[in-house]
Amino acid sequence: MTPIPSSQLLDALNWRYATKKFDPARKIPADLWSALEQALVLSPSSFGIQPWKFIVVTDPAVKASLVPISWGQKQPAECSHFVVFAVKRGLGEADLDRYLARTAEVRGIPVDSLAGFKNVMLGSIEKARAGGYLDTWQTHQIYIALGQFMAGAALLEIDACPMEGIDPAQYDEVLGLAGTGYATVVACAAGYRAADDRYATTQKVRFLPEDVITRI
Amino acid sequence: MTPIPSSQLLDALNWRYATKKFDPARKIPADLWSALEQALVLSPSSFGIQPWKFIVVTDPAVKASLVPISWGQKQPAECSHFVVFAVKRGLGEADLDRYLARTAEVRGIPVDSLAGFKNVMLGSIEKARAGGYLDTWQTHQIYIALGQFMAGAALLEIDACPMEGIDPAQYDEVLGLAGTGYATVVACAAGYRAADDRYATTQKVRFLPEDVITRI
d(CA B46, CA B54): 17
Nearest-CA residue of chain B relative to A124? Answer: B165
> φ and ψ at A195, to 5 degrees?
-60, -30
The predicted pLDDT at position A1 comes to: 84
pLDDT at B178 (0 to 100): 93
Q: Tell me the per-residue pLDDT of B84-94, one tens digit each, with 9 for 90 and over.
A: 999 999 999 99
Per-residue confidence (pLDDT) for residue B199, from 0 to 100: 93
Percent of chain B with pLDDT over 90: 100
Residue B73 neighbours by CB under 8 Å, 6+ apart? B67, B163, B165
Q: How confident is the model over B110-116, as a mean pLDDT?
A: 97
With beta carbons under 8 A apart, name residues in chain B contacting A43: 147
pLDDT, tens only, B169-194: 999 999 999 999 999 999 999 999 99
**Percentage of chain B surpassing pLDDT 70?**
100
* ipTM confidence score: 0.97
pLDDT at position A94 is 96
Closest CA–CA distance from residue B47 to any residue of chain A (Å):
10
Return the DSSP state at A201.
Answer: G
Confidence (pLDDT) at B101: 98
Q: Given CATH 3.40.50.1970, say whether it is the number of domain A6-91+139-212.
A: no
Distance from CA of B143 to the nearest CA of A (A): 5
pLDDT recorded at residue B208: 97
Q: Would you call B54 and A147 a contact, using CB atoms and an 8 Å cutoff?
A: no
With beta carbons under 8 A apart, name residues in chain A contacting B141: 143
Q: Which of B216, B186, B195 is nearest to B53 (CA)?
A: B186
CB-CB neighbors (< 8 A) of A6 in chain B: 31-32, 34-35, 156
At B1 the pLDDT is 84
In whole angstroms, give the CA distance from residue A210 to residue A89.
Answer: 39
pLDDT at A189: 98
Say if B180 is an interface residue toward chain A (CB within 8 Å). no
Q: Which CATH superfamily is domain B6-196 in?
A: NADH Oxidase (3.40.109.10)
In the prediction, which pLDDT does B55 show? 98
Q: Quote the pLDDT of residue B41.
A: 98
Which one-letter amino acid corresponds to residue B186? V
Distance from the Cα of B55 to chain A's closest Cα (Å) equals: 5
Q: Hey, what's the torsion of the CAs at B107, B113, B119, B121, to 10 degrees?
A: -10
Residue closest to A106 by CA, chosen among B86, B72, B208:
B208
Residues of chain A with pLDDT under 50: none
Measured CA to CA in angstroms, residue A2 lies from A43, A90, B7 at distances of: 20, 40, 11
Relative to beta strand B182-191, strand B159-163 is antiparallel
Cα–Cα distances (Å) from B171 to A188, A198, A201, A215, in that order, read: 33, 42, 40, 15
Query: Which residues of chain A make contact with B8, given a CB cutoff of 8 A?
Result: 1-2, 4
Contact predicate B28/B34, CB 8 Å: no
For residue B34, pLDDT over 90 is answered with yes
Contacts of A161 (CB under 8 A, 6+ apart): A18, A19, A20, A22, A75, A79, A188, A189
